[in-house]
């Protein structure tokens, strides 16, 4: 069966981060839509869908935690990028650009997830946001659309 693990990274840095586990059969929406439906403006929500044969909810929760622990540092780095950029949005004009000068310890997919949710942030007014991935690809959000390009030497 498919299982959804979603974790909310709030700006107040509550630790442990609020996390929910749900079996696909328990959800009202298809599982892939459910994770998108959990995104909230101004709050970063991350998670994963995984397969499991475990029926017992306590054991299933333990399995989800075991799967999460190796990802925790990367997800916390995503939260750092999200809230840092969100803070900068407050100080940047709608035509402004926010850009990091060092690569984030994240891959393109992880940065894209952050920027896609950042586009829903109440402080986002169309600013351009640029982040460099750990493999030196430029991930840019402009007018709410995210694109990736190779960095020029």
Q: DSSP letter string over the chain?
A: -EEEEEEEE-TT--SSPPEEEEEGGG-SS-HHHHHHHT-BTTBEEEEEEEE-----HHHHHHHHHHHHGGGHHHHHHHHHHHHHHHHHHTTS-TT-EEE-SS--SS-HHHHHHHHHHHTTSTT-SS-EEEEE-TTSEEEEEETTEEEEEEPP-
Q: Assess whether 84 and 59 both reside in one domain.
A: no
- How many domains are there within the chain? 2
pLDDT at 153: 62
pLDDT digits (tens, 9 = 90+) for 34-45: 877 777 788 899
Grade residue 150 by pLDDT with cuts at 50, 70 and 90. confident
- Of 71, 100, 128, at which residue does a domain stop? 71
Query: Does 11 or 103 have the greater pLDDT score?
Result: 103
User: pLDDT band at residue 19, thresholds of 50, 70 and 90?
Assistant: confident
Question: What is the pLDDT, as a whole number, of residue 18?
Answer: 85
Q: Does residue 60 sit in the same domain as residue 91? A: no
Average pLDDT of the chain, as a whole number: 90
Bridge partners of residue 48, in order along the sequence: 5
Check whether residue 91 and residue 41 sit in a common domain. Answer: no
Same domain flag for 43 and 20 = yes
What's the pLDDT at 85? 92
Residues 78 and 145 in one domain: yes
Same domain, 8 and 64: yes
Residues 82 and 129 in one domain: yes
pLDDT in tens, 111-120: 999 999 999 8
In a shared domain, residues 89 and 59: no
Residue 54's domain spans which residues? 2-71
Q: Please check whether residues 34 and 81 belong to one and the same domain.
A: no
Of 15, 39, 71, the one marking the end of a domain is 71
Same domain, residue pair 113 and 48: no
Do 64 and 106 fall within a single domain?
Answer: no
- 78 and 66 share a domain? no
Query: Is the pLDDT at 130 greater than 70, yes or no?
Result: yes
């Amino acid at each position: 069966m498919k299982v959804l693990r979603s974790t909310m990274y709030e700006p107040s840095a509550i630790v442990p981060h609020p996390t929910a586990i749900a079996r696909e059969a328990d959800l009202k929406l298809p599982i892939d839509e459910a994770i998108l439906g959990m995104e909230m403006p101004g709050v970063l929500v991350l998670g994963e869908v995984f397969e499991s044969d475990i029926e017992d909810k306590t054991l299933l929760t333990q399995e989800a935690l075991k799967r999460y622990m190796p990802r925790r540092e990367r997800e916390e780095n995503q939260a750092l990028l999200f809230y840092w950029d969100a803070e900068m949005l407050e100080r940047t004009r709608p035509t402004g650009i926010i850009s990091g000068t060092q690569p984030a310890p994240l891959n393109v997919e992880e940065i894209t997830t952050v920027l896609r949710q950042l586009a829903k942030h109440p402080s986002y007014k169309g600013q351009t946001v640029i982040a460099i991935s750990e493999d030196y690809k430029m991930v840019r959000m402009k007018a709410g659309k995210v694109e990736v390009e190779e960095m020029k030497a």
